[in-house]
Amino acid sequence: MSIRNLDDLLAEGVSGRRVLVRADLNVPLDKQTGEITDDGRIRAVLPTLSALVRAGAKVVVCSHLGRPKGAPDPQFSLRPVAGRLGELLGAPVAFAEDTVGDSARSTVEGLADGQVALLENLRFNKGETSKDDTERGAFADQLAAFGDAYVDDAFGAVHRKHASVHDVPARLPHFAGRLVLREVEVLSRLTGSPERPYVVVLGGSKVSDKLAVIEALLPTVDRLLIGGGMCFTFLKAQGHEVGTSLLEKDMVETCGNLMERAPGKIMLPVDVVVADAFAPDAAHDTVPADGIPSHRLGLDIGPETVAGFAAALSQAKTIFWNGPMGVFEMAAFANGTRGVAEAITKADAFSVVGGGDSAAAVRALGLDESSFGHISTGGGASLEYLEGKTLPGIAALEN
């Protein structure tokens, strides 16, 4: 891999130079208060930003937040992120009210050496996500004008063919930031020759989102443990009734085929926590996976399943986990996710947690982040990496 990284840039010297950093500051915000509920992605980019600040660069940070539709939308403003970033860096961060307009221009021009600015949400501009190369390119030209060099540290967005990820690096000397470098190093350990047994735990709500990664992983893993909303489509394929649980009817046959293809590799829940409704205070019970009542829905894996998954994980030497095992945001349905997470921390294995939701679960459940080998900042990005897909953001750095 011929990617130049931040150390190469620092070795060139950046004092007084403008460095445009693409970060993934797409953090979850509280719907009511607009406050940042998990600042993991902001903290993850600090090593790169601090190194540039120390070296005297004029640091211009850009990011997306949420999915605004190509025009300014106050609920997706990065302003609160600028505040938090400043607190974490221990120095104020100048905030531009637009991405490439007058405010951005004067903010960048006003930067002193070692200062940091954050531009407003990239996705307030149509060109960022446009499928049209010319439209994307025109926006990339405007962004690239703010930097003498470009650093990509937005691992969570490297799977997007967006202007700031894919087109800006074609216009500026480009380097991988510390986070992108570390993520790629870790994930390549999983795609290379992982120490065995290699056990993967997948959860989350939809099989259709995970199908490609299941297909890609099935031949390589020793064990694939499936929980979360997606397990019910597998249980249905085993011939069980799933009540009113999440079910992707058009995926049942596919799930059946996957289980046939790798007999004994896929482990499904043997018991589930079912409830009367999708609510934190809904009446609930644990039932066998083949005894889900027709009027109830499964919201978590049961304790016997947790014990079985924990036993498989305790043997593992390499673990990848993506997706919660149940509705962990509701205390009554958090035990499956907590149990699996704890089993991962206890295993004598190299463990990688992928995905915004699983990373947020680790922190929300108060688990010690340092007892995992690596917590990826990328959800879709880490899955697509494991699928072996070409990631536009990484490919752009290689060129």
Its sign, for the CA torsion 140, 141, 145, 147, is positive
Nearest approach, Cβ of 379 to Mg ion (angstroms)? 5
380 binds Mg ion (CB under 5 A): yes
Query: Among candidates 350, 347, 369, which has minimal Cα distance to 359?
Result: 369
Active site residue 131: no
Between 302 and 354, CB nearer to Mg ion: 354
Its sign, for the CA torsion 340, 345, 349, 351, is positive
Between 300 and 384, CB nearer to ligand 3PG: 384
The span of 234-242, 310-318, 357-365, 379-387 binding Mg ion (CB under 5 A) equals 379-387
Please pick, among 4, 105, 206, 317, the residue that the annotation labels catalytic: 206
Residue nearest Mg ion, Cβ-based:
380
Nearest approach, Cβ of 123 to ligand 3PG (angstroms)? 8
Q: What's the rounded Cα separation, in Å, for the pair 360 and 34?
A: 17
Which of ligand 3PG, Mg ion, none lies near 67, with the C-beta cut-off 5 to 8 A by kind?
Answer: ligand 3PG
Please pick, among 326, 356, 379, 393, the residue that the annotation labels catalytic: 356
**Cβ atoms 151, 7 nearer than 8 A:** no
Nearest approach, Cβ of 346 to Mg ion (angstroms)? 29
Which of ligand 3PG, Mg ion, none lies near 24, with the C-beta cut-off 5 to 8 A by kind?
Answer: ligand 3PG
Q: What's the rounded Cα separation, in Å, for the pair 63 and 96?
A: 12
Q: What's the rounded Cα separation, in Å, for the pair 73 and 265?
A: 46
Between 221 and 360, CB nearer to ligand 3PG: 360
Active site residue 356: yes
Q: What's the rounded Cα separation, in Å, for the pair 256 and 261?
A: 9
**What are the residues whose beta carbons fall under 8 Å from the beta carbon of 246, sequence distance 6 or more?**
205, 206, 229, 230, 232, 233, 297, 298
Tokens of 380: 């879709």
Between 24 and 153, CB nearer to Mg ion: 24
Between 159 and 182, CB nearer to ligand 3PG: 159
Nearest approach, Cβ of 24 to ligand 3PG (angstroms)? 5
Active site residue 206: yes
Helix axes 335-346, 356-364, angle to 10 degrees: 90
Which of Mg ion, ligand 3PG, none lies near 26, with the C-beta cut-off 5 to 8 A by kind?
Answer: ligand 3PG
Nearest approach, Cβ of 17 to ligand 3PG (angstroms)? 27
Could you list the residues that contact ligand 3PG (CB under 6 A)? 24, 26, 67, 156-157, 160, 356, 379-380
Active site residue 41: yes
Which of ligand 3PG, Mg ion, none lies near 157, with the C-beta cut-off 5 to 8 A by kind?
Answer: ligand 3PG
**Cβ atoms 179, 47 nearer than 8 A:** yes
Its sign, for the CA torsion 10, 20, 77, 101, is positive
Query: Among candidates 300, 285, 357, which has minimal Cα distance to 331?
Result: 300
Tokens of 252: 């049942």
Nearest approach, Cβ of 65 to ligand 3PG (angstroms)? 8
Q: What's the rounded Cα separation, in Å, for the pair 214 and 237?
A: 16
Q: What's the rounded Cα separation, in Å, for the pair 274 and 290?
A: 12
Between 157 and 247, CB nearer to ligand 3PG: 157
Sole residue written with tokens 């967005």: 157
Please pick, among 41, 58, 136, 210, the residue that the annotation labels catalytic: 41
Query: Among candidates 85, 22, 21, 89, which has minimal Cα distance to 59?
Result: 21
The span of 4-12, 85-93, 305-313, 373-381 binding Mg ion (CB under 5 A) equals 373-381
40 binds Mg ion (CB under 5 A): no
- The catalytic site residues sit at 41, 206, 356, 380
Footprint of Mg ion on this chain (CB under 5 A)?
380
